[in-house]
Amino acid sequence: MNSFSRKFVLAMLAIAIIAGSIGSASAFAYNRQGAIDYAKNNAYSWVPGSWYFMTRGVDCTNFISQTLYLGGWWIQRGPEQTTNQWYFRNAFPRDYSNSWTLVNNFRDFVVNSGRGTEIFPSRSEVTARPTRFQAGDVMQIDWTGDGTWDHTMFITGVTGNDVLVTYHNNNQRDYSVSRMMRDYPNNKFRVLHLKDEYSQ
Ligand SMILES: [Ca+2]
């Protein structure tokens, strides 16, 4: 191997090592407690975009997205309005993804990106101590069980016999899910159980 070839091989090796270290750095941590604190602290406050999304009925999912962003979730840019992107820069003029503000698009992003898994807890599981989800996960509700998912909430507490949720639109902090079930006897839940580490 001549001198040039050797330098070339060494340069390629250096690039491979750098690329490898960049690759291994693409695992991200979810700050679960930080997200819970943010949600509870901002339950009754406007977060970025609230002024715009509140009047359009989509601040619930925006609030959850802002919470996860402050909890360490990285922005994901991609082709315009596909399910593999999640970002917010500005409410108006519009510069955000559907997944940031819409119930089903948000769910699609979480599941497709691998940042979380979808669970459908029964009503009895919610009132017992749940084992498949925890505080810092996202809960969505279909109020009347008609098959259309209506609302996104953040689980901010799990007690022995209840789950507490914090959300925007009709702002609430640590609202009892048992009470919600009494008010909406045919409701259905789905939970997005979020991973503590994810790769991108
Ligand atoms: Ca519905």
DSSP strand pairing (163-167 vs 95-96): unpaired
CA 146 / ligand 1 centre spacing (Å): 5
Q: pLDDT tens per residue, the chain (200 residues)? A: 555 566 655 555 555 444 444 444 478 899 999 999 999 999 999 999 999 999 998 999 999 999 999 999 999 988 777 778 999 999 999 999 999 999 999 999 999 999 999 999 998 888 887 889 999 999 999 999 999 999 999 999 999 889 999 999 999 999 999 999 999 999 999 999 999 998 87
Class of domain 29-199: alpha beta
Please tell me whether residue 99 adopts helix, strand or coil conformation.
Answer: helix
- Residue spans per domain, the chain: 29-199
CA 152 / ligand 1 centre spacing (Å): 12
**What is the rounded CA–CA span in Å between residue 140 and residue 125?**
15
CA 118 / ligand 1 centre spacing (Å): 18
**Length of the chain, please?**
200
Task: Please tell me the pTM assigned to this model.
Answer: 0.86
CA 48 / ligand 1 centre spacing (Å): 27
